[in-house]
Chains A and B, each alone.
Chain A
Amino acid sequence: DTAVSQTPKYLVTQMGNDKSIKCEQNLGHDTMYWYKQDSKKFLKIMFSYNNKELIINETVPNRFSPKSPDKAHLNLHINSLELGDSAVYFCASSQETLRTPREETQYFGPGTRLLVL
């Protein structure tokens, strides 16, 4: 009954490969996010989707392409992986059409540790 799940948890791959990370939430939330945590533990927003519509697309190389097949899923596809893409990628979700701000708390998945060799 995990709220926000990500697969895979670990991903080790060679430079130049293409890989995908999947995220699913069973909280019924309408907004999902991808964050990147670098080697210094700094977390930064990459994308957000609301009701399957891309809302935020921060300064991220266009090798990164999010896809939301439905409100419960937000996948991240990365083309031509580079060494600098090594990081932990977190998916999160929240319900933004709400009665109280408290309910806009974002809940995070367990993270995907990507290592590019």
Chain B
Amino acid sequence: AQKITQTQPGMFVQEKEAVTLDCTYDTSDQSYGLFWYKQPSSGEMIFLIYQGSYDEQNATEGRYSLNFQKARKSANLVISASQLGDSAMYFCAMREGGRTGRRALTFGSGTRLQVQP
């Protein structure tokens, strides 16, 4: 079974509107972390936002917020006021518990977001 599922291969959004990118995860660990990364066409991986499994509040970083619903095992990324520069591939990733050095990220398949003027 896939540990991270991103069901939207591609999304379009109008500039200045908000968009939600979906992510569901599967783990039996109690302690885990959820991350979103952005990969623009230039190829680098840019860290956007983190949510810990024990965090009671949804994470926010500027225009990015994470809609964390633990019971549903979902961690959707919300981008408010989309900008043309937000056009990129977005990856959801999970870090499960485990001993030091074993906490590599498991990635979803990504969602390609295109912001239209």
Contacts and interface: CB of A to CB of B under 8 A. Distances in A.
Interface residues on A, range: 20 to 34
Secondary structure dominating the interface of B: strand
B52 to A, nearest CB: 5
A53 B104 contact: no
A43 B104 CA distance: 11
Contacts of A105: 35, 47, 50
Interface in A24-39: 30-31, 33, 35
Contacts, number: 72
Given A50-B100, A53-B101, A111-B44, A41 B50 contact: no
B109 interface: yes
Secondary structure dominating the interface of A: strand
A31 B101 CA distance: 6
Interface residues of B, number: 26
A111 B43 contact: yes
Interface string B39-73: 10001111100101000000000000000000000
A45 B43 contact: no
Nearest to A94: B103
